[in-house]
Structure 1
């Protein structure tokens, strides 16, 4: 639990996290591993969904309703980025991820995702990924030369499980997570890109060495299948892609993504359907790729960062997952002898939507919903 640090704390005692409201306040949080962190409240957002750091140490934060903010190197709002898409927020849909490739200094290119309504039938929707040039100013910036890179196909009814997280691999391929839109069977349907991880060239064309390239159409995009609602991805130091996803009722997963593998949903899962219908566990059908880690009860994962900085020397290579329902930051030891496993939780009673590692080595987390805080986590002492 967070406790607020006061200059006179020895005399006045410690206040609970509900007393903290001001930007600049610092609290401490003690993890289940006994590690104590300082957490500085650096900014506040409404329904923040994603964050990305620029090469100069500034950052972008995108809110679900469509606003994109430019932050200074201390995490404070400088102004908005204009020229983005108009977003209709419904359910889990709205603006999604924003991603800055490592070659941004040369290309000025960024990627972002959002939910698009069907022009002929407003009840239908699907995720879209675009690229754009980002022109920065001292107090904001503008997106120009927007280009469609990928669309979720087909558009379907409902407003959940879009996924639409973005990453560029060390060998310069674009990876996108695509949720199954709460429809279950699309995860196993090769004529749809729902419930999949897709791999593209940076311009949206399909690499000829994709495993199902010869099938053409959206099938050619597919890198892996059998996913539910993948809301976090990152590459480790060796270039291996890891993706986590929300299970049905429990059974959340962290998966090592291997070319052409089928991860089993909805045929197998270590959770069950919300209706109460049981789903066979992974170990009953080894033809499907089993998760590296799974959680029962659920953690409701969102956001993912594999730590590659040096401020937390003991955590290099560990994965950090934001927990929504679990209201925790979860650390995963990716190099455990028996395979990845949960190492610790850091809790302060707030839903965590996004996790990023800053260029200063600090861990930045975005709380979910209205008036969610951006917190900068650093070692105490």
Structure 2
């Protein structure tokens, strides 16, 4: 993790070109903070990535990749996005920069794709050059396909060894999450070229697909790397209740749908079990469901009380949740932005030391959260 002084210096450069923005003041247990509206008019924005020059890339689920430069959203979409399908919860999903982006200009996109056999989750890599995508190459495709238009997952993250983690949902067919010959319902760890990462549990087990890292995951909508330990943390949607936060460990079965703290949308239990031998317990769960989406650890200089806290957006309950965690236990949970009235889709820690948020709406916004008035 970078020292706070370096983060602050980077932030001053990052913010130099931002125009005046509207702001609202909210309260927290640590004092007041300011929520600035940086951009508006995005159609269901899904993910945000910060470019080295201070610009930002934003995906719209409708299939467009947009650029926000000097606080101004370019009206034209970036050309070169791979062929995709917009259906139900599917569309253009995550955008993630290669760890050596400044040198190789490579980024990764996750998205829904339709073929003769149905729909699935894909990941493509591309070169971002002169505000367009070049050399687009599909490096991962979840198999088999399905007619369902739910639970594509799509969140991605790099670990400290440079391997890419890709979440694939159960596609609304829950039993697939326990079938390790089926790519649905788990997290896949691959190289930047799409090969199974060394050490994957399936490499030594013919019953487990080679790219699997974990399974028994319903629909992961948040993924981030811990700034101190380097572990990959996720959260996933439960049905009615049972949203979970998990720390990914190789070869771990997270239980869905054999164990869950939620029930079916009909009100009927999915299972009577909340734990079973050989299946991991969540670090934390919500009941009722908040529909979590996006997550980031706070590492900014502006609010020392928040250092190391985990921030999670909520779609259903329309809020930002702050979790203080130590020794694997949530010690404090605070709801923020409950009066904003917005579905929070993504949460990112910015190079300026601020938290950045996307709202999931047909007129979605980019927000920047800072301490103070």
Global fold match (TM > 0.5):
yes
Q: 1:247 aligns with which of 238, 245, 251?
A: 238
SS at match of 1:353: strand
Q: Is the 8 A contact 2:66 2:73 kept in 1?
A: no
How far did 1:164 drift?
1.0
- Superposed CA RMSD in Å reads 1.9
How far did 1:256 drift?
0.9
Cα 1:111–1:338 shift into 2, 3 Å: closer
Match of 2:166 in 1: 176
Match of 1:71 in 2: 68
SS at match of 1:82: coil
In structure 2, runs of 5+ residues without a counterpart are: 1-19
How far did 1:253 drift?
0.4
Cα 1:351–1:313 shift into 2, 3 Å: same
Q: 1:208 aligns with which of 198, 204, 208?
A: 198
Matched, 1:295 2:286: yes
Equivalent runs, 1:77-156 vs 2, <5 Å:
77=74, 79-118=76-115, 120-121=116-117, 124-136=118-130, 141-156=131-146
Deviates more, 1:354-363 or 1:211-220: 211-220
Equivalent runs, 1:1-381 vs 2, <5 Å:
24-31=21-28, 33=29, 35-44=31-40, 45-74=42-71, 76-77=73-74, 79-118=76-115, 120-121=116-117, 124-136=118-130, 141-215=131-205, 219-237=209-227, 238-280=229-271, 283-335=274-326, 337=327, 339-341=329-331, 343-346=333-336, 347=338, 348-381=340-373
Paired residues in the alignment total 350
Q: Is the 8 A contact 1:135 1:143 kept in 2?
A: yes
Match of 1:18 in 2: none
Deviates more, 1:351-360 or 1:303-312: 303-312
Cα 1:165–1:93 shift into 2, 3 Å: same
SS at match of 2:210: helix
Q: Is the 8 A contact 1:242 1:256 kept in 2?
A: yes
Q: Normalising by structure 2, what TM-score? A: 0.89
Match of 1:10 in 2: none
SS at match of 1:81: coil
How far did 1:67 drift?
1.2
Q: Normalising by structure 1, what TM-score? A: 0.87
> Which has the bigger relative contact order, CA under 8 A and spacing at least 6?
2
Q: Distance in 1 between matches of 2:159 and 2:153?
A: 18
Q: Is the 8 A contact 2:30 2:305 kept in 1?
A: no
How far did 1:282 drift?
6.1
Q: Is the 8 A contact 2:38 2:367 kept in 1?
A: yes
How far did 1:40 drift?
1.1
How far did 1:34 drift?
5.7
Cα 1:373–1:260 shift into 2, 3 Å: same
Deviates more, 1:70-79 or 1:312-321: 70-79
In structure 1, runs of 5+ residues without a counterpart are: 1-22
Q: Is the 8 A contact 1:333 1:343 kept in 2?
A: yes
